[in-house]
Structure 1
Amino acid sequence: MGASASRSLQPEQLAMFKKLPPSNNFYQAEIEIPEREENRVPTDKKFLIVLGVMILVLLPFVIYTLCYSDMDRLSIYDQCGNICGKKNAKYDQWECTGQDYTNKKLLQFDNLHDVKDIYLSSRRCVSECYPGYSEMLQGYCFEGEIDRTEATADVDLENWSSELGVFLQSMAWRLTLACFLSLGVALSMLYLFRVAAAAMVWSILAGVLVLLVILVAFLWYGYFKIESNDKGGLIIAPLFFTIMLVILVAVLVFLYKKIALVIVIFKEAMKATFAMPRLLLVPIVTFFADLLVVVIFLIALAFMLSAGTLTEIIDGYLQYQPNVVMQFSIIFSFWMTFWVSQFLTGIQYMVIAGAVSKWYFAKDKNNLNAPIITSASIAFKFHLGTAAFGSLIITVMAIIRSLISSLFKNKFVKACFDSCMSVIEDFLKYLSKNAYIMTAMHGKPFFKSGKRAARILLQNVANIVVLNYIGDFVIVMAQVLVMLISLLFTYLILQGVDSPHKWAVYVIVGIISIIVAAICFSIFETVIDTIYLCFCEDKLLNDGMARPYAMSRDLMEFMEDSKKIFGEKKT
């Protein structure tokens, strides 16, 4: 299908989609992308109300659970529910409760090896371990003399962690420099895609191809070199990578011309990104907002896991057990956190898509008048409901998947089900993302936008497959390259440092470089998807004569070349 827009999609359908008044000449109709703010109305607002109501419903459950929580219970308590090292509350129905253990900070286990449940073991709070007992873990006494090997290992572990902390403190400036260099590497990689997209794409694909050839040759050589009668399991790795090599070669051979689209779209995406460099702040803000939500959830979860009411499980043994409401609060808060996280991601997509579509269709790309702020304002003013709706669908799918998956006892069947559901879930996320982009462009609700996006994608499925799989593959490889180069810089920075703890610096820099690369390139993926949908709408909306195309010369040349190569007729 080349770069053509959908054959079945007609210009009049775009006018109907936008609910424009009938016109004898479609090209005289007032169609503008992105839709003006004054022509927009709030979309899917009832789902934003649902999200707000669900958060309000969650609050009393969480507050109730937190009222019955105590973090000190996580360190275990005596068999009467008294926590060591503090004065405990008195319960009238149990005489053994309400003990003042301010000076008894150790918990001693008497018959731990005789029971399966730790809460059914005989436990008492003591000021020091009784004769015949040893403090093997900090704050706990166990029966028997301590093993010298274990004691030495415990001391060594404490010394090791202390040495590691001192080393990292001494490496603070080197670590900071390496982390900033990883940011520089990621931005430099983006710039290389800006000035030499074709070279970067083909270099990455060729590099991976060469590495796969070497790896496959090495694996098959090792397989045939091993002298063993039982080599059945060893053939899996060489077969797997051989199949990967064949697939990559087939893609490069049969879709060689299609990869040109990836390169052109990459160029346009880089132009948009560097024309609006503040776009890079959008995923950063989303990341920290998401991080804040997750941190709040984890802190609340830590308290909720300690919640419970004192219950006598057997005679003389008490335990803090969560009731149904507390259990529901934990599950409910988890899924609400997931929903809010997906909601924030949806907002990010719409903000980026709105700004990029404004850049794409602007006649004067040097005078955009704050496109990011305008796009964010429109998203928050009109389309939070759409983000809430799309994220709700993804959340419901995840809940259904987890519920059904929990019913399977057979591990193989469960793994197969999870694999199938993960594919469906990823596809749903992809459709939702494109629906968000369409909403940002046209200002229509989630379902209408999703339906139009799906029709465009289906009519251009060959391009979409290449753009997503080859494009995503190149982006992932670029992120890996950012990490490897960052680690190389770290190696150079650590020259002259002699310490067994150098690995910790590499681990920290590796993690941070991956996060930095993921944030930088996450915007790239959304920009690419937006550029392609704008490209399709551009060719449908404009005729290249009375209404000039908004696309760049590179895209025009690619479109004309595609018509010649694939024999396509202009719609």
Structure 2
Amino acid sequence: MAEKHHNPSDYGEPIRYDPDFSGPLKRRSCTDVLCLLLLLVFIGCWIGIGLYAFINGNPNVLLVPIDSQGARCGLDSHVRDKPYLFFFDLTKCLQPIPFTGCNTPQVCVKQCPQTLFLLDNINYYRPEDMICTNDVRRPMTKNEALQLVTEGKCARWYLHSESVQKRCLPNIFSQNDLAQLTKIGSNVTVEMLQKVRDSIKIDFEQIGNNIVDDIMHSWWLILVGLVLAMLVCIIYIVLMRWIAAVMVWLSMIGVLAVLSFGIYQCHKNYLYYKEHKVYKDTSPWYQSLLYKPGTWMTLLIITSVILAIVVLLLIFLRKRIVLAIALIKEASKAVSSVTASLFFPIFPWILQIGVIAYAIAVGLFLSTIGSSQFVVENLDGSNCRCTGPAQNYKNNATCDPDIFASNCKEYGNECNPATCHFVGTVSSNLITYLHVINIFGFFWILFFVSGLADMILAATFSTWYWTFRKRDVPFFTVTESTLRTLRYHIGTLAFGSLIIAICTMIRVLLEYIDHKLKKYDNFITKAVLCCCKCFFWCLESFIKFINRNAYIMCAIHGKNFCLSAKDAFNLLMRNILRVFVLDKVTDFLLFLSKILVTAGVTSVAYVVFSTDYVKIVDTSELNYNYIPVIIIGIGTFFISLVFFSVFTMAVDTLFLCFLEDSERNDGSPEKPYFMSKNLMLILGKKNK
């Protein structure tokens, strides 16, 4: 059987010349109204779910402090009446450990200390004033107290304190306390206590105190770095208006230079750590990795492979890069001519941030709706005896903390280490369904906002392309495109985003199933799930590609989603070679530009924060100099995505318009091309 070759005629007839066509239609009707109604009903239900969650949820259950033994203050049976967290030695909080909190014992207490206590001063020692762990029995002598302090079971000193989010922090205005500390030779000062209060930034599990502290000390420098990144993106795009070829080749050379420098640095560090062996077992894991030569060898291999791939791509695509540069230059002209389009993505970006914040808040409140679940822990092997209503309590059985505290005793005292421990919130199946709806709403509305921005930009740039004399482009093109899209095509956006949301939810469900089936470790199950996840990833990517081009066709011709998707698909398939030769090469070159901008700004931040070459800022108060560098690097990448998304949309829109222009017109006086002279010259076309 002869092989079937690609035949453009299989995908419909080329678009015919229409003397009345002059760009995006002004007169059009509403599209996909049923999907619009469905979207409005869903948004109303989503808001209702949010109100229900905010009224009935209590996120404070998730925010209660946790002591060094894992007990939740105010919730677990043995600390039911102890809602506050006390730190044994607050000076250890001056250098907190990331992701674990202060490196000092922490216990739950009934109330924060209201007096001064100094074990080293005999005049102030009373056994009943000692704050210790639950397994310490009183009374005790001072020598016994000193032994317990050495063992980390009791606090040596504390000051007048107040509750800050249920954590006991010293009152820095208690000058008498500081005076007493000074008399016994203590080095605790007002500045030290203030720094302790500032460094203990409370979050869900006391995570990353150092990181938060660094952010608080350098937030304005991070902001300056992000503003610099925004200016670099704007300048970069403006320069491409006149020297597109230079900027594109500069991007390619810059990326190659960055990768080459990375290879050099990785090789240098590999040889150094292989020879000096400075690895220490006592170092934190994230520092230990940097001391291992194997880490740098892995990075060296990865960087080398990436460099080789980029070089090979540039070699094989060198002839196509000239065409791609011409299309990029066209896009830069369009963006420069409609300056408002450059800043337009800021508004959908703010909307997306709002959608993300709302979905997270609803999910957080929903997760706290229901009854608290407690289970018995450490009962077996202890001397704890449960009687009365608690006589049938066993390990891992559900329990009531009040009943446990009243009926489970160890020689007349509270049980230790047996507890009735809080493990979570038990909710009905309704809450599970509401969680699923919330996740689905998050995806749907997020994709909807993204599609809205794409269609508005598509309408803007298609208006620019199909205006024969570019100086006649309307001044309020972005405004007109926004109003036209909001009036006529919200339903189309709802339809397209709904399809992507459904596909994404299927992928999330597959990930959930994969997580649940991991304990079975079945090879066949893993293979089937892997194939399913790969298939739906490809399907989602294809749908996103079709959606993007469908939005462009809808912005131009005003048809519904299905017809727009069909027209876009047929047009692309009739010009499939140009799609791969021109459009995808352009996307690759723009990706290199994003990488170059991100690498450039991040390198400047690294020189400022982590080296001694530039003494512009004082980094002495920072625990980790690289934290601002990482934040600026990540922020720069997302800023470049926001600004270059305009450029990418301009390229995709102009490319689709160019394909339609090539089919609709032939360059004759009656049917002139709308493309620029530069693009016509490169493609071998001209207006007669």
Q: Identify the match of residue 586 of structure 2 among 471, 474, 477.
A: 471
Between the aligned partners of 1:149 and 1:124, the Cα distance in structure 2 is 13
Between the aligned partners of 1:436 and 1:149, the Cα distance in structure 2 is 66
Between the aligned partners of 2:153 and 2:335, the Cα distance in structure 1 is 59
CA shift digits 1:149-170 (9 cap, x unpaired): 9999x99995783687787666
| Residue 276 (structure 1) aligned with residue 338 (structure 2) | yes
Between the aligned partners of 1:452 and 1:552, the Cα distance in structure 2 is 24
Q: Which residue of 1 aligns with 2:245?
A: 198
Q: Which residue of 2 aligns with 1:427?
A: 542
Task: Give the Å deviation of 1:467.
Answer: 3.9
Task: Give the Å deviation of 1:363.
Answer: 2.3
| Residue 520 (structure 1) aligned with residue 604 (structure 2) | no
Q: Identify the match of residue 437 of structure 2 among 312, 326, 332.
A: 332
1:33 alignment partner AA: G
1:137-536 maps to which residues of 2 (within 5 A)?
148=152, 158=196, 161=199, 171=218, 174-209=221-256, 244=306, 247-309=309-371, 314=397, 316-317=399-400, 320-369=425-474, 370-408=476-514, 409=517, 413=527, 414=529, 417-490=532-605, 491-492=607-608, 495=616, 497-499=618-620, 501=622, 502-536=625-659
CA shift digits 1:468-514 (9 cap, x unpaired): 54323322332232233323444457535241514343233323322
Higher alpha-carbon Rg: 2
CA shift digits 1:99-150 (9 cap, x unpaired): 9x8x842489xxxxxxxxxxxxxx9984489854289xxxxxxxx9796599
Q: Which residue of 1 aligns with 2:24?
A: 34
Between the aligned partners of 2:579 and 2:152, the Cα distance in structure 1 is 64
Asked if the contact 2:572/2:579 (under 8 Å) is kept, the reply is yes
Asked if the contact 1:304/1:326 (under 8 Å) is kept, the reply is yes
SS of the residue 1:385 aligns to: helix
Asked if the contact 1:398/1:425 (under 8 Å) is kept, the reply is yes
Between the aligned partners of 2:618 and 2:264, the Cα distance in structure 1 is 37
Between the aligned partners of 2:227 and 2:65, the Cα distance in structure 1 is 46
Q: Which residue of 1 aligns with 2:83?
A: 105
Q: Which residue of 2 aligns with 1:53?
A: 41
Asked if the contact 2:266/2:296 (under 8 Å) is kept, the reply is no
Unaligned 5+ segments in structure 2 are 1-6, 67-71, 87-106, 113-129, 137-147, 157-166, 170-191, 201-209, 276-292, 376-396, 402-423, 609-613
Task: Give the Å deviation of 1:71.
Answer: 2.0
Q: Which residue of 1 aligns with 2:9?
A: 8
1:552 alignment partner AA: S
Q: Report sequence identity in percent.
A: 26
1:373 alignment partner AA: T
Deviating more after overlay: 452-461 vs 260-269: 452-461
**RMSD of aligned C-alpha atoms?**
4.4
Pair 211,186 (structure 1): closer, same or farther in 2 beyond 3 Å: closer
Q: Which residue of 2 aligns with 1:541?
A: 664
Between the aligned partners of 1:512 and 1:134, the Cα distance in structure 2 is 48
SS of the residue 1:196 aligns to: helix
Asked if the contact 1:350/1:379 (under 8 Å) is kept, the reply is yes
Unaligned 5+ segments in structure 1 are 1-5, 16-25, 87-95, 109-122, 136-143, 564-569
Count of equivalent residues: 502
1:86-125 maps to which residues of 2 (within 5 A)?
104-106=82-84
Asked if the contact 1:46/1:385 (under 8 Å) is kept, the reply is yes
Asked if the contact 1:65/1:304 (under 8 Å) is kept, the reply is yes
Pair 218,514 (structure 1): closer, same or farther in 2 beyond 3 Å: closer
Q: Give the TM-score, by structure 2 length.
A: 0.63
Q: Which residue of 2 aligns with 1:3?
A: none
Q: Give the TM-score, by structure 1 length.
A: 0.75
Pair 355,147 (structure 1): closer, same or farther in 2 beyond 3 Å: farther
Task: Give the Å deviation of 1:172.
Answer: 5.6
Structure 1 or 2: more helix by fraction: 1
Deviating more after overlay: 374-383 vs 69-78: 69-78
Asked if the contact 2:35/2:492 (under 8 Å) is kept, the reply is yes
Between the aligned partners of 1:149 and 1:365, the Cα distance in structure 2 is 79
| Residue 133 (structure 1) aligned with residue 142 (structure 2) | no
Between the aligned partners of 1:184 and 1:207, the Cα distance in structure 2 is 19
CA shift digits 1:514-571 (9 cap, x unpaired): 222121111111110001001011111222111211110011112207x9xxxxxx9x
Between the aligned partners of 2:580 and 2:426, the Cα distance in structure 1 is 52
CA shift digits 1:305-358 (9 cap, x unpaired): 211135787564277411111121122111101100000111111100001000
Asked if the contact 1:339/1:392 (under 8 Å) is kept, the reply is yes
Q: Which residue of 1 aligns with 2:69?
A: none
